[in-house]
Structures are given as structure tokens and as C-alpha cells.
Amino acid sequence: MEKYLITGFSGFVSKHFLEYLESLSKQVTVYGLDINYPDFIYSSYSKVKCTFNKIDLLDKSKVDNIIFQFKPDYILHLASYSSVAFSWKNPVASFANNTNIFLNLLEQIRALNLKCRILSVGSSEEYGNVFEKDIPLLESHKLNPVSPYAVARVSQEMLSKVYVEGFGLDIVLTRSFNHIGPGQRNIFVIPSFASQLVNIKKNNLPAELTTGNLAIIRDFLDVRDVVKAYYLLLHKGEKGQVYNVCSGFGTSLQTVVKIMTEILGMNVNIKIDESLIRPSDNSIIVGNNDKLKKACDWETEYSLEDSIRDVVNYWSNVL
């Protein structure tokens, strides 16, 4: 029976990964680690047997003990402070968390000489500001991080390469672009728009949507396509290689707002909040996913409209 250790277990992506594992209809064991308790029932699956431990991954002795006892076949490393905005406000905490917790995992795998495949989840933010002529971005494109979060993600990637080449660990890496879907917290841009709009409509509030810069263009991928890619990379990805996990299409935030208001049948005025505009924000980030498709025979199943509709429906049920 395959054994998966998932860090960041209580988060948005992990829940969807568990649901994907369940859909495969084979018995697997999952050990989840997170500093927060999950807000979903992880014991409800019939094929996926889950155990959860509330733990600070900076506590190396506890991490070491769990890995020693569980001996995972696969590690899906999702734990991070994943908000770019948070990293600007708390750069030290963001960097320390996003690098040291990863090092703790690698060191114990190395010490025990475990035959364990690790998926190191990185970010498209590593590419930084790019020219339109470079779009869509290939994995070979030069990295140019322009936020504390992005610097931490590049550091994680460099550490992965050191442990692959220097210590022989089996690590596959991603640069994951913006993923969206039901259940994502509204500190992120798409659920923020959706929750605001649903609240306005439900409570007959003034039709004013607070946003940052709507001109920026991002590559949005449904979280259900993301977790399928993660599973396939754990099983088919090449050791030491980096893969863009993305849709391959760019969409402006202005277009996202238009799709949402059409779904909800409403018109809104836009109020720009300068505090939501990040320093050195990338104007456009769109990836090329050919390498992922070739390695894993992966294809997207959800259109952007499907994803946005599901996000809107989620917030309609929550609020």
C-alpha cells in the first residue's frame, strides 16, 4: 500500500489531492502534517486512510520522529506561507518558514536513506518580471524573483537541486502558477472577488468591488487539474527536473471580474485599493506546460469559466 506524507495538510490543495486519491479507487495511507487543524473531515474517505498530526514543521525533532515511524513512499510538500502579500509584510517569517521546513524534511530523508520521492512545490513567482516576448515561459527561462516569497521559493528549488545532485535524493520540482477552485481562502484574489460579489448580491449592498490592479495577466489553473499533475509527477516525473504546472493561457483580472459578474447577473463599480497593489508586481505571467504534458500525459479538464463558476457557487453556499 502506497504511503503519502502531506505537509500543509489542512490547506486548500491538500483536500483536493485527497479527493483525487480517493477517485483512483485504490487503498492508500496518508499522514498529514500542518500547524493548523483541517476544516474538512479527513476520516470520511473509503479508500484513503488518513492520519493527522498538528505540528510546527520547524520543530525538527518531531518531524524526524514522524518520518522515522511512517517511512513514506511519497512526500507532497505543500506547507508554506503562500501569500506574496504576507511576504512583503513579514519577509523574515516568510523566508524562514518556506526554506527551513523543507530542509528539515530533506535532512531526515537523507539521514534515514529512505527510498522516498519528494515533490517540491514551487511557484511561477520565481520568474519575476518578464517581457511579453518571453511568454509563454519555459522552464529554461532565467529566474528573477522580485518578492520575499519568490526568493524563498527559488531557495527551495536550489536546495532541491543540491540534495538531488549532492546526496542523491529523489526530488521532482514544480513551478506552479496561480491555481483556483472551490474552498480557497479569500485572502487570494479570485475568491476575494467572488466572496465580495456574492455578499453584495445576497445582502443588496452598494455595487462596489474593491480590487488591486486589474490589468495584470495571470495563468489560472483549476486546483483539480493541479492535484492530478502533482500525482502524476510523483509517479512519472523525472528526478531533479522542474515542471511548470499551468494552463498555458493568460487572463487579466479584469476579464475574471467580467466572467463573475456575468455569472451572477450583476454590474459593479470598481474601487481601486492602493494597498492591494504589491511593490514590483509582475504585469504578466503565463507558462508553457508542454514539458508536463509530455512527461505525464497530462491534460486539463476544467476551463477557466468552469473554475470561476465553481468558486462563485462555493461562496454562494458559504456566505
Place 13 in a pLDDT band, splitting at 50, 70 and 90. Answer: very high
C-alpha span between 171 and 141 (Å, rounded): 20
Q: Is the pLDDT of residue 161 over 90?
A: yes
Residue 191: closest CA among 83, 80, 315? 315
pLDDT for 81 equals 83
β-pair partners for 5:
31, 75
pLDDT for 275 equals 77
Q: Is the dihedral of CA 118, 7, 183, 88 positive or negative?
A: negative
Share of the chain above pLDDT 90, in %: 87
| Nine-digit cell string for 251 | 487572463
Q: Which residues touch 148 (CB under 8 Å, ≥6 apart)?
A: 87, 88, 91, 94, 95
Place 44 in a pLDDT band, splitting at 50, 70 and 90. Answer: very high
| pTM above threshold 0.85 | yes
Place 280 in a pLDDT band, splitting at 50, 70 and 90. Answer: low
Residue 132: closest CA among 44, 7, 217, 66? 217
pLDDT for 282 equals 76
What interhelical angle do 189-203 and 304-318 show, nearest 10? 50
pLDDT for 317 equals 96
Mean residue pLDDT of the chain comes to 95
| Nine-digit cell string for 33 | 502534517
Helix, strand, coil shares of the chain, percent, nearest 5, are 45, 20, 35
- For 79-102, what is the mean pLDDT? 87
pLDDT for 97 equals 85
- For 183-196, what is the mean pLDDT? 94
Residue length, the chain? Answer: 319
**What one-character DSSP code corresponds to residue 274?**
G
3-state SS assignment for residue 28: strand
**Architecture of the domain whose range is 2-180+220-246:** 3-Layer(aba) Sandwich (3.40)
pLDDT tens, residue by residue, 287-298 = 999 999 999 999
Of residues 250 and 272, the one with the higher pLDDT is 250
168 phi and psi, to 5 degrees? 80, 15
Give domain limits for the chain. Answer: 2-180+220-246
Q: Is the pLDDT of residue 98 over 90?
A: no
pLDDT for 206 equals 93
pLDDT for 15 equals 97
Chain position carrying cell 487572463? 251
DSSP H/E element including 172: strand 170-176
Q: Is the pLDDT of residue 20 over 80?
A: yes
Q: Is the pLDDT of residue 122 over 90?
A: yes
Place 82 in a pLDDT band, splitting at 50, 70 and 90. Answer: confident
Q: Which residues touch 182 (CB under 8 Å, ≥6 apart)?
A: 310, 311, 313, 314
Place 276 in a pLDDT band, splitting at 50, 70 and 90. Answer: confident
